[in-house]
Amino acid sequence: MMKKNYKDPWYKRLEMDLQLLTNFCENSPLVEFKGLNGSDVLPPSEYEVTYKVKSIVGINEDQSPIYGEEHKVKIILPQGYPMLSSPSCYATTKTWHPNIRSSGKFEGHICINAHVLGFWHTLDLLVEQIGEMLQYKNYHAEQIQPYPEDPIVAKWIKNYAEPNEIVDKSKGIATDSRPLMEASNEWENSRNQTNKINILDIRLKSSKTPKPDKEEPKDDKRIKVKSKIKIS
C-alpha cells in the first residue's frame, strides 16, 4: 500500500489504521473489511467488518442458543478521533451478547469503554476485540460497573449459559475458540514499526491536538503491547 503524505493529523491516523487493518485481515481467514467511504485520495473513516466466526444470535423458547456463522459490524471513526472522540461500533446483523444491544432503539450498539480504549489504541486491535466478543472469549455479564449493555442477555448468561457451560469466560468456554489471526514474527515486527513511526509523526506535528492526561513513556514501549479493551 502506497503511503500518502497527509498534513492533517486525523488523516494521518486514518491512513495508519487502514494500513494496520489491511495487514491484520491479510493474516486472518476469519475477518474481512471494506471501507464505506474514502477515495483514492482520502482514507476511509467508516468500515464494514465481516467476522466468519461461530457466535450466538438469539435464543429458542427453551432458552437454548441459536448460532450464526457470519456477522457484520459497522465502525465509524468521527472527526476528532482518537483524541477528542471515540469510535462508534454497531452490529448490523443479529447478535446475542451482554455487551451488544439486541433490540430496541439502539439495537446493535457495541459497548466499548472509551477511557480504557485510550488515545493510541489502533483500529486493528479494536476489530480484534470485537471479534473476541462475538466468539464469547470476552464479555461482561455481572450487574456491576461497568454494567452490561443488554441486561436481558446478561441475565441469560448468568442463569442459563454459564450453568450449562455453553459459555463461561472464567473457564475458557467460548462459542469459537479459534484465533482470529496467526501472526508471524515478520508481521508483528512490521506492525510495531508502522504503529510507532506513524504515532510519533502524529505527535510531533499535531501541536494543536490535546495531550493525554498521563505522559507517554519516552521509549514508546507501550505502543508495542497488544492491550485488551475492557467492555462495559
Provide the 8-state DSSP code for 83: T
How open is the CA angle 2-3-9, to the nearest 5 degrees? 150
Q: What is the pLDDT of residue 116?
A: 56
Cβ distance 166 to 87 under 8 Å?
no
Backbone angles phi, psi at 215, to 5 degrees: -70, 135
Res 214: pLDDT: 45
**Whether the model pTM is above 0.85:** no
- In this prediction, residue 190 carries a pLDDT of 64
* Separation of alpha carbons 92 and 86, rounded Å: 19
Beta strands in the chain (DSSP E): 31-35, 46-51, 55-59, 65-68, 71-76, 88-91
In angstroms, the CA 176 to CA 125 distance is: 18
- Decide if 78 contacts 85 (C-beta within 8 A): yes
Residue 115 identity: H
Angle at 147 between CA 85 and CA 48, to 5 degrees: 45
In the chain the domains, ranked by start, together with CATH numbers, are 9-224 (3.10.110.10)
Residue with cell 455487551: 99
Distances (CA, A) of 47 to 97, 124, 128, 183: 21, 12, 14, 22
pLDDT of residue 206: 41
Question: pLDDT per position in the chain (232 positions), as tens?
Answer: 455 677 788 899 999 999 999 999 999 999 999 999 988 889 999 999 999 999 999 999 999 999 999 999 999 999 988 888 889 999 999 999 999 999 999 999 999 865 555 566 899 999 999 999 999 999 999 998 889 999 999 999 999 999 999 999 999 999 999 999 986 666 666 666 655 545 455 444 443 444 444 444 444 433 333 434 444 4
- In the chain, what's the furthest Cα-to-Cα distance? 58
Q: Tell me what pLDDT residue 97 has.
A: 98
3-state secondary structure of 89: strand
Q: What is residue 117's predicted lDDT score, i.e. its pLDDT? A: 58
